[in-house]
Amino acid sequence: MSIVDSLIENKLDEAKQKIHARLEELTSKILDEAKRYVAADRFEEVEVEEELDEAVRRNPNIIRMGRVKKIRKRIRRNAKGRIVVQKNRRRSAIKGYRISGNTVRRIPATTRLRKARLLKRGWKTTRRAKLRRSMIKRRMSMRRRSSLGLK
């Protein structure tokens, strides 16, 4: 007996059940097709991702060139407090070394020790109170970085 026959015979509950059963059957069929398409699309995206260079996957903003790393964009504040985007900054890629002129030089032990002592003293006295403000500023900076498209 079809849906039309049950409607003609005024068996509305039967017609309603048949309509719901047919709709469920159709939606499950369409859903299965959609799942196949989505799975195929995701599989293709994974293949494209594997072809990317390992360095680009890590952090495309930092380019390592031997003993020097080039940071493409950084957000900083200048002396007047304005937000500045620094571009193509060269930094040493080796810990304990710095760039002097065009060469990578080792930071002297006395300079490292003096800096460590000053940092320790600062954190014991004045810096503890400023930590909260610096965390707020970091959050703002990270928001700006994400709006620029950086990690």
**Would you give per-residue pLDDT tens digits along the chain (151 residues)?**
788 888 888 888 888 888 999 999 999 888 888 887 777 666 554 444 555 555 456 778 888 888 999 988 888 888 888 888 888 889 999 999 999 988 999 999 999 999 999 988 887 777 777 788 888 989 999 998 888 887 6
Using alpha carbons only, give the angle 138, 142, 144 rounded to the nearest 5 degrees. 115
Computed over its alpha carbons, how large is the radius of gyration of the chain?
A: 32
pTM of this structure = 0.42
**What is the DSSP-derived secondary structure letter of residue 88?**
E
